[in-house]
Chain A
Amino acid sequence: MTRRSRILLTALAFVAVGGIATFAAAPGNPKAVSQAGGLWTDKDGAPTYNISKDGTVDWGTFIGYLRYTDNCLRCHGPDGSGSSYAPDLAQALKQIDYSQFIADVAGGIKAVNTAQQLVMPAFADNKNVMCFIQEIYSYLRARSTGALGRGRPAKSVPDPKGFDEASYKCLGIPQ
């Protein structure tokens, strides 16, 4: 089993077991407890960040920055700061735990009425998003607590062994 598919299954198990029960809760203590394949998790098993005192960010959070900026910026703005038509995620993530986050991203959100026409697409079948959903959450979580500022993280730990191969495999791109 590759690291990528293992992460995806971990996410599924998390949603299946604890996710629904904690619907729409605040995310809890972000303290990083354990690490696998460059990705840190908190005591509840939700993805989180691990930023050292000199500002070096963990690999998962760094990848989260990259993939957020690729897939989410066009609506949610640079650094998750919102745009003229999509919410500021550094604020919104203060109230959204991982299970709610993954549900919103996979299923999309619609707020269409006489006052506004806001639609977030369902990303469930978008590998560019779903292969990195934990990383994107870690990144936005760091933004929401203020642990990470704006812009590209200046320093990150090196990529864990096999990360590229696993990414290509999850994305379905031949190397």
Chain B
Amino acid sequence: MKRTTTWTGCAALGVLACLLLAGTTAVAQTATNGNEAAKAPAATSSAPAMNVTGPSAAQEAANPDNWAMPSLNDAATRYSPLNQINASNANHLQVAWTFSTGVLRGHEGQPLVIGNTMYLVTPFPNTVYALDLNNNERILWQYTPTQDPDVIPVMCCDTVNRGVAYGDGMIILHQADNTVVALDAKDGKVVWKIPLASYKVGATGTDAPLVVGNKVLVGVSGGEFGVQGFLAALDIKDGHIIWKAYSEGPDNQILVNSDTTSLGKPVGADSSLKTWKGDEWKIGGGDTWGWYSYDPKLHLVYYGSGNPSTWNPNQRPGDNKWSMTIFARNIDTGVAKWVYQMTPHDQWDYDGVNEMILANLRIDGREVPALVHFDRNGLAYVLNRENGELIAAHKYDPDVNWTTGVDMNKSSPDYGRPKVVEKYAPGSKGVNVNYTGICPAALGSKDEQPAAFDPQTQLFYVPTNHVCMDYEPYPVAYTAGQPYVGATLSMYPGSGGYMGRFIAFNPVTGKTVWSINDQFSDWGGALATAGNVVFYGTLKGYLQAVDAKTGKLLYSFKTPSGIIGNVMTYMHDGKQYVAVLSGVGGWAGIGLAAGLTDPHAGLGAVGGYAALKDYTTLGGQLTVFALPEK
């Protein structure tokens, strides 16, 4: 690496003065300053909005040839009715075409296809490409925002972006620096843009927005910087904020009222404030960087909030509501209809942001409007999405040991709470204690990589991490815009010595129907199809097609780099295609590029497991597959 040292903020002062500042002035800053700094800039558009119109997101998503929403549909099932590629012919798949993104960092997310155009976004610098599927994927337009490179180091865990959204003739991008921009889908011209929150305090953008009617739903990243999380609904016409609902804080910030319930009971006044010490909630995290789904009949949007800040639980006594929570909010007002906190007083960094899959499940002979969520904490939750009733919470990885399960007894005072195993709880004996053998690790039994739901098999296809950890918390100071973590973690493979399992799972019974073990975490999102074929990508870079019923491997192809992107499919000119972004990175790139250590190898041992870098290296590329011409 060429070393070009820049004395950020120190140019005029010199190192000595900088260090003096570090030792003196900085000490005067207090945690309570954080919220002031974290407030979003005024919701103003930078320029008068152009008048761009087009079919709505819902209209385009109704066409099965398209992939018009980040999770395919607003129910986030990632189940495509396309069946040209099926379990009998998938072994004939071939690479149809490829596209280099020109960016080397981690490529999460998935492209969109609407009609004859594919849209995709790269990690920072967040270049958006529109490719003409009618003309050998010629680049119709590209858009690269101008962003301050200082946003790069405040992005926890790589500069990923999980995809653009479409709505009303526009492509919506949530940039790394937390600007949301709408581009004319025809030519890439900026229609409007607004700054949502300041990256200078560590608030960044990594999520794929969801467009519902005239609203763009967008969240915020920054749980490792003490950013007070929120979900915002922007008007798709001009970007102004219609409502903004925080994860923690006073009732008028978290948008709850007397009708808001948790497990059937009203949450009551000050439900969040009561669970924090003093003003800690202002730097309390609960960020909302995952996926959003929507039920058009109930007018409810669903999403989860992330870890409370800091990672040292001893510094924030209480349940820390509403971090680690599933929210169901009214799409028009933002007011929560119901909430459910999965991991009260988090002690493990088990963010609750993973996708909420809206599936109608047959349970005891009746069809239930369910919400299914595979949480980082290793439990698969089934709730009634209408009223938030808890139906089931089963472990979906056999190693999960921090809890013995959720208290399902409705008359118990602890109803709905996980039963925590003390020796695996880093808050139980205070700071400076190394809590060992905790499963899952902080990256969860599953992270953001989305699962898919096949209504035919009634099964969920889940890419998982089979990784455990040691966790040692200690005191940490808050400085706006600086990491606010406070724990040392060491991660290693789970039982059996491998780190990933791709599973077919029934969340109602808790049964794993089949499982494919993987040396490394399965960090690519799944795709289920009506052709009875399920697709996913591996960290070694393989695109895999498996039989939905049996898990039998039907096709495997090694793409140029490890896959942390989500497989998608579309139909063009009467032909079905399957596409995935390669480009290793993200959390997986941090822990796994160097290899995880073997805790049993002891001091001084070389001890690293076979490292991912022996299999793959950096490189952003889209690989598109199809069946050969007959």
Contact = CB atoms under 8 A, between A and B. Distances in A.
Interface in B291-327: 315
A16 B28 CA distance: 24
Contacts of A81: 594-595, 608
A151 B1 contact: no
A95 B6 CA distance: 19
A43 interface: no
A104 B605 CA distance: 30
Interface stretch (B413-421, B469-477, B493-501): B469-477
Interface string B247-264: 000000000000000000
A35 interface: no
A138 B321 CA distance: 40
B591 A124 contact: no
A106 B10 contact: yes
Interface residues of A, number: 70
Interface string A24-39: 0000000000000000
Interface string A140-175: 000000001111111100000000100110111100
Interface of B: 1-10, 15-16, 18-23, 25-30, 104-106, 124-125, 149-150, 152-154, 156-159, 224, 315, 432, 434, 470, 472, 474-477, 479, 482-491, 584-585, 589-591, 593-599, 601-608, 618
Contacts, number: 229
Given A5-B23, A125-B26, A151-B607, A70 B5 contact: no
23 contacts: A12-B20, A19-B15, A70-B485, A73-B489, A74-B590, A77-B593, A79-B594, A84-B589, A84-B593, A109-B4, A109-B5, A110-B5, A110-B8, A117-B105, A119-B150, A122-B8, A122-B9, A122-B18, A124-B18, A127-B22, A127-B477, A164-B432, A171-B477
A130 B593 contact: no
Contacts of A116: 1, 104
Given A5-B23, A84-B618, A78 B153 contact: no
A82 B475 CA distance: 25
A107 B106 CA distance: 26
A106 B152 contact: no
B19 A11 contact: yes
Contacts of B605: 149-151
A78 B607 CA distance: 13
Contacts of B475: 167-168, 171, 173
Contacts of A75: 153, 590
A98 interface: no
Contact of A111 (B2, B26, B601): B2
A112 interface: yes
Given A109-B5, A109-B6, A84 B487 contact: no
Nearest 7 interchain pairs by C-beta: A81-B594, A84-B589, A121-B153, A149-B604, A69-B488, A77-B594, A119-B152
Interface string A95-118: 000000011101111111000111
Q: Interface on chain B toward A: helix, strand, loop, or mixed SS?
A: loop
Contacts of A108: 6-8, 153
Contact of A84 (B9, B482, B584, B607): B584
A151 B157 CA distance: 20
A93 interface: no
Nearest to B103: A117
B15 A107 contact: yes
B482 A70 contact: no
Nearest to B591: A78
B149 A112 contact: yes
Given A70-B487, A125-B479, A153-B603, A84 B158 contact: yes
A71 interface: yes
Contacts of B105: 84-85, 117
A106 B18 contact: yes
A117 B149 contact: yes
A164 B470 CA distance: 22
A122 B10 contact: yes
A85 B585 contact: yes
B602 to A, nearest CB: 6
B17 to A, nearest CB: 9
A76 B539 CA distance: 19
A119 B603 contact: no
A16 to B, nearest CB: 5
A84 B434 contact: no
The winner among A87, A88, A107 for most chain B CB atoms within 10 A is A107
Contact of B157 (A19, A74, A130): A74
A172 to B, nearest CB: 4
Nearest to A169: B27
A107 B486 contact: no
Contacts of A152: 434, 470, 488, 490, 599
A152 B601 CA distance: 11
Contacts of B597: 78-79, 150-151
Contact of B483 (A74, A106, A119): A74
Contacts of B8: 107-108, 110, 121-122
A126 interface: yes
Given A66-B472, A87-B1, A102-B19, A125 B482 contact: yes
A65 interface: yes
B601 A151 contact: yes
A75 B593 CA distance: 11
A79 B594 CA distance: 9
Contact of B22 (A88, A109, A124, A148): A124
A74 B159 CA distance: 12
Contacts of B29: 125, 172
A15 interface: yes
Nearest to A56: B603
Nearest to B150: A119
A18 interface: no
Given A70-B476, A119-B152, A106 B590 contact: no
Given A70-B476, A74-B224, A84-B590, A110 B482 contact: no
Contacts of A172: 26-30, 477
B490 A83 contact: no
Contacts of B149: 110, 112, 117, 119
Contacts of A120: 153
Contacts of B474: 66, 70
A62 B153 CA distance: 26
Given A8-B23, A85-B589, A150 B606 contact: yes
B607 A149 contact: yes
Given A103-B15, A117-B125, A128-B482, A155 B603 contact: yes
A119 B4 CA distance: 10
